[in-house]
Chains A and B, each alone.
Chain A
Amino acid sequence: MNKKVFILLILIIIVASALRLWQLGKVPSSPDWDEVALGYNAYSILQTGKDEYGKFLPIVLRSFDDYKPALYSYLTIPSILIFELNVFAVRLPSAIFGIISVVATYLLVKELFSMKSSFEIQSSKEISKEKNDWKLEILALLSAGLMAISPWHIQFSRVAFEANIGVALNVFGILFFLKAFKKPWFLFLSALMWGLSLYIYQGEKVFVPFLIAILVVSFRKEFLLIRKKYIYASLTIFAIVCLPLILFTLTNKDALSRAKTVSIFSNSSIIEANTEKIARDRANNDILGLVLDNRRVEFAKYVAGGYLSHLDFNWLFIKGDIARHHVPGMGLMYLIELPFLLVGIYILIFGNFTKAVKIFTILWFLIVPIPASVTNDVPHAVRAINFLPILQILTAIGILFAMQKILNIPAKGWSASGGKYLIFSMFLLFFIFNFLYYLNQYFVQQNYFHARYWQYGYENIINYVSAVQKNYKKIIVSNTATMDQSYMFFLFYLKYNPVQYLKEGGTASGKFEGKNQFANFEFRKFDYNQENEKSILLIGSSFDFQEEYKTIHRVNYPDGNLAIKVVER
Chain B
Amino acid sequence: MKEYTFIVLILIVAFFLRFYQLGENPPSLTWDEAAWGYNAYSLGTDGKDEFGRFLPLDYIESFGDFKPPVYAYLDVIPVKILGLSEFAVRFPSALFGVLTVLIAYFLVKTLFHLRGVHPRFAKASRGESATSEVSKAENIALLSAFLLAVSPWHIMLSRAAFEANVATFFIVLGVFLFLSAVNSVKSRGAVSSPPQGWKPIDTPGLGFLLLISFSVISFILSIYTFNTARVVAPILILVLAFGFRKELLKQKKETLLAIVLGIVLLLPVANFLTSPQASLRFREVNIFSDIGVIENANQQIENDDNAWWSKIIHNRRLIYGVSYLRHYLDNLNPDFLFIKGDGNPKFSTQTVGQMYLWELPFFIIGILYLIKRKEGYWWIVPTWLLIGIIPAGLARETPHALRIENSLPTFQIFTAYGIFFVTQRISNFKFQILNLKLWKLFAICYLLFAISNFLYFFHDYLAHYPRMYSGEWQYGYKDSIEYVQSVQDNYSKIYATSDLGRPYIYYLFYTKTDPRLFRKNNVVKRDVFGFVNIERFGKYDFLNKKKKADNKNDKALFVQTPLNVPAKSKILKKFYLLNNSESLVAYE
Chain A residues near B (Cβ < 8 Å): 273, 276-277, 280-281, 284, 286, 288-289, 292-293, 297, 301, 304-305, 308-309, 311-314, 317-319, 329, 335, 346, 349-350, 433, 436-437, 440, 444-445, 448
Chain A residues lying within 8 Å of B338, measured Cβ to Cβ, are 304, 308
Are the C-beta atoms of A440 and B310 separated by less than 8 Å?
yes
Taken together as a complex, chains A and B put the C-alpha atoms of A304 and B340 apart, in Å, by: 11
Chain A residues lying within 8 Å of B310, measured Cβ to Cβ, are 440
Are the C-beta atoms of B463 and A284 separated by less than 8 Å?
yes
Q: Nearest Cβ distance between residue A297 and chain B, in whole angstroms?
A: 7
Q: Nearest Cβ distance between residue B217 and chain A, in whole angstroms?
A: 37
A288, A350, A444: the one within 8 Å of B303 (CB): A444
Chain A residues lying within 8 Å of B468, measured Cβ to Cβ, are 273, 276
Taken together as a complex, chains A and B put the C-alpha atoms of A471 and B468 apart, in Å, by: 62
Per DSSP, chain A at the interface is: helix
- A288-B459 contact in complex given A304-B357, A305-B335, A437-B313, C-beta closer than 8 Å: yes
The answer to the question of B330 belonging to the interface, with a C-beta cut-off of 8 Å to chain A, is yes
Are the C-beta atoms of A350 and B326 separated by less than 8 Å?
no
A292, A305, A329, A444: the one within 8 Å of B460 (CB): A292
The answer to the question of B467 belonging to the interface, with a C-beta cut-off of 8 Å to chain A, is yes
B303, B333, B456: the one within 8 Å of A445 (CB): B303
- A309-B463 contact in complex given A318-B329, A448-B303, C-beta closer than 8 Å: no
Q: Nearest Cβ distance between residue A10 and chain B, in whole angstroms?
A: 29
Chain B interface residue count, Cβ-Cβ cutoff 8 angstroms: 34
- A440-B455 contact in complex given A304-B357, A311-B334, A346-B368, C-beta closer than 8 Å: no
Are the C-beta atoms of A319 and B326 separated by less than 8 Å?
yes
For chain B, residues 327 to 374, give those with C-beta under 8 angstroms from any C-beta of chain A. Answer: 329-330, 332-335, 338-340, 357, 360, 368, 371-372
Chain B residues lying within 8 Å of A346, measured Cβ to Cβ, are 368, 371-372
Are the C-beta atoms of A281 and B326 separated by less than 8 Å?
no
20 new A-B contacts, CB < 8 A, other than A308-B338, A312-B329, A314-B326, are A288-B455, A292-B456, A293-B464, A304-B339, A305-B335, A308-B335, A309-B335, A312-B334, A313-B329, A314-B333, A318-B329, A319-B326, A335-B322, A335-B325, A346-B371, A350-B368, A433-B313, A436-B309, A436-B313, A440-B300
Taken together as a complex, chains A and B put the C-alpha atoms of A25 and B110 apart, in Å, by: 63
Chain B residues lying within 8 Å of A445, measured Cβ to Cβ, are 300, 303
Query: A-facing mask of B447-458, CB < 8 A → 1, else 0?
Result: 000001001100
Are the C-beta atoms of B333 and A312 separated by less than 8 Å?
yes
Q: Nearest Cβ distance between residue B143 and chain A, in whole angstroms?
A: 23
Q: Nearest Cβ distance between residue A89 and chain B, in whole angstroms?
A: 28
Taken together as a complex, chains A and B put the C-alpha atoms of A433 and B313 apart, in Å, by: 8
Taken together as a complex, chains A and B put the C-alpha atoms of A293 and B309 apart, in Å, by: 57
Chain A residues lying within 8 Å of B357, measured Cβ to Cβ, are 301, 304
- A305-B313 contact in complex given A289-B463, A313-B329, A346-B371, C-beta closer than 8 Å: no
The answer to the question of B319 belonging to the interface, with a C-beta cut-off of 8 Å to chain A, is yes
Nearest B residue to A330 by beta-carbon distance? Answer: B322
Q: Nearest Cβ distance between residue A430 and chain B, in whole angstroms?
A: 12
Chain A residues lying within 8 Å of B306, measured Cβ to Cβ, are none
Nearest B residue to A286 by beta-carbon distance? Answer: B463
Are the C-beta atoms of B329 and A314 separated by less than 8 Å?
yes
Taken together as a complex, chains A and B put the C-alpha atoms of A277 and B469 apart, in Å, by: 13
- A292-B459 contact in complex given A305-B339, A308-B335, A319-B326, C-beta closer than 8 Å: yes
A297, A304, A312: the one within 8 Å of B456 (CB): A297
Taken together as a complex, chains A and B put the C-alpha atoms of A284 and B299 apart, in Å, by: 59
Taken together as a complex, chains A and B put the C-alpha atoms of A329 and B332 apart, in Å, by: 20
Q: Nearest Cβ distance between residue A219 and chain B, in whole angstroms?
A: 20
- A349-B322 contact in complex given A288-B459, A437-B313, C-beta closer than 8 Å: no
Most chain B CB neighbours (cut-off 10 Å) among A277, A281, A319: A277
A308, A311, A349: the one within 8 Å of B368 (CB): A349
Are the C-beta atoms of A301 and B463 separated by less than 8 Å?
no
Taken together as a complex, chains A and B put the C-alpha atoms of A281 and B304 apart, in Å, by: 61
A311, A329, A440: the one within 8 Å of B319 (CB): A329
Chain B residues lying within 8 Å of A277, measured Cβ to Cβ, are 460, 463-464
Chain B residues lying within 8 Å of A281, measured Cβ to Cβ, are 463
Sampled A-B contacts (8; CB under 8 Å): A280-B463, A280-B464, A280-B467, A292-B460, A305-B340, A329-B300, A349-B368, A436-B309
- A308-B329 contact in complex given A437-B313, A448-B303, C-beta closer than 8 Å: no
Nearest A residue to B330 by beta-carbon distance? Answer: A314
Taken together as a complex, chains A and B put the C-alpha atoms of A83 and B456 apart, in Å, by: 61
Chain B residues lying within 8 Å of A311, measured Cβ to Cβ, are 334
Q: Nearest Cβ distance between residue A489 and chain B, in whole angstroms?
A: 26
Chain B residues lying within 8 Å of A309, measured Cβ to Cβ, are 334-335
B319, B325, B335, B459: the one within 8 Å of A312 (CB): B335
Query: A-facing mask of B204-220, CB < 8 A → 1, else 0?
Result: 00000000000000000
Taken together as a complex, chains A and B put the C-alpha atoms of A292 and B458 apart, in Å, by: 11
Taken together as a complex, chains A and B put the C-alpha atoms of A286 and B464 apart, in Å, by: 11
Chain B residues lying within 8 Å of A437, measured Cβ to Cβ, are 313
Most chain B CB neighbours (cut-off 10 Å) among A281, A305, A319, A448: A305
Chain A residues lying within 8 Å of B459, measured Cβ to Cβ, are 288-289, 292
Chain B residues lying within 8 Å of A308, measured Cβ to Cβ, are 334-335, 338-339, 360
Most chain B CB neighbours (cut-off 10 Å) among A276, A281, A314, A350: A314
Give 5 nearest A-B pairs by CB, closest first. A308-B334, A305-B339, A313-B329, A318-B326, A437-B313
Nearest B residue to A439 by beta-carbon distance? Answer: B313
Nearest A residue to B312 by beta-carbon distance? Answer: A433
Chain B residues lying within 8 Å of A312, measured Cβ to Cβ, are 329, 333-335
Are the C-beta atoms of B304 and A440 separated by less than 8 Å?
yes
Taken together as a complex, chains A and B put the C-alpha atoms of A319 and B300 apart, in Å, by: 17
Chain B residues lying within 8 Å of A276, measured Cβ to Cβ, are 468
Are the C-beta atoms of B372 and A313 separated by less than 8 Å?
no
Chain A residues lying within 8 Å of B299, measured Cβ to Cβ, are 448
Q: Nearest Cβ distance between residue B190 and chain A, in whole angstroms?
A: 29
Are the C-beta atoms of B335 and A313 separated by less than 8 Å?
no
Q: Nearest Cβ distance between residue A559 and chain B, in whole angstroms?
A: 8
Nearest A residue to B352 by beta-carbon distance? Answer: A301
Nearest A residue to B350 by beta-carbon distance? Answer: A273
- A318-B335 contact in complex given A280-B467, A286-B463, A445-B300, C-beta closer than 8 Å: no
Chain B residues lying within 8 Å of A280, measured Cβ to Cβ, are 463-464, 467
Taken together as a complex, chains A and B put the C-alpha atoms of A273 and B322 apart, in Å, by: 36
Are the C-beta atoms of A318 and B322 separated by less than 8 Å?
yes
Q: Nearest Cβ distance between residue B531 and chain A, in whole angstroms?
A: 33
Taken together as a complex, chains A and B put the C-alpha atoms of A445 and B319 apart, in Å, by: 15
Are the C-beta atoms of A292 and B455 separated by less than 8 Å?
yes
Query: A-facing mask of B488-502, CB < 8 A → 1, else 0?
Result: 000000000000000
Nearest A residue to B336 by beta-carbon distance? Answer: A312
Chain B residues lying within 8 Å of A289, measured Cβ to Cβ, are 459, 463
Are the C-beta atoms of A313 and B332 separated by less than 8 Å?
yes
Nearest A residue to B319 by beta-carbon distance? Answer: A329
Are the C-beta atoms of A292 and B452 separated by less than 8 Å?
yes
Query: A-facing mask of B402-419, CB < 8 A → 1, else 0?
Result: 000000000000000000
Taken together as a complex, chains A and B put the C-alpha atoms of A273 and B368 apart, in Å, by: 37
Q: Nearest Cβ distance between residue A194 and chain B, in whole angstroms?
A: 30
Chain A residues lying within 8 Å of B330, measured Cβ to Cβ, are 314
Taken together as a complex, chains A and B put the C-alpha atoms of A317 and B357 apart, in Å, by: 24
Chain B residues lying within 8 Å of A433, measured Cβ to Cβ, are 313
Most chain B CB neighbours (cut-off 10 Å) among A288, A289, A292: A292
Q: Nearest Cβ distance between residue B401 and chain A, in whole angstroms?
A: 17
Q: Nearest Cβ distance between residue B342 and chain A, in whole angstroms?
A: 15
For chain B, residues 369 to 412, give those with C-beta under 8 angstroms from any C-beta of chain A. Answer: 371-372
Taken together as a complex, chains A and B put the C-alpha atoms of A54 and B303 apart, in Å, by: 45
Chain B residues lying within 8 Å of A305, measured Cβ to Cβ, are 335, 339-340
Chain A residues lying within 8 Å of B460, measured Cβ to Cβ, are 277, 292-293
Most chain B CB neighbours (cut-off 10 Å) among A281, A329, A436, A437: A329
Q: Nearest Cβ distance between residue B115 and chain A, in whole angstroms?
A: 21
Nearest A residue to B326 by beta-carbon distance? Answer: A318
Chain A residues lying within 8 Å of B467, measured Cβ to Cβ, are 280
Q: Nearest Cβ distance between residue B381 and chain A, in whole angstroms?
A: 16
Taken together as a complex, chains A and B put the C-alpha atoms of A292 and B451 apart, in Å, by: 12
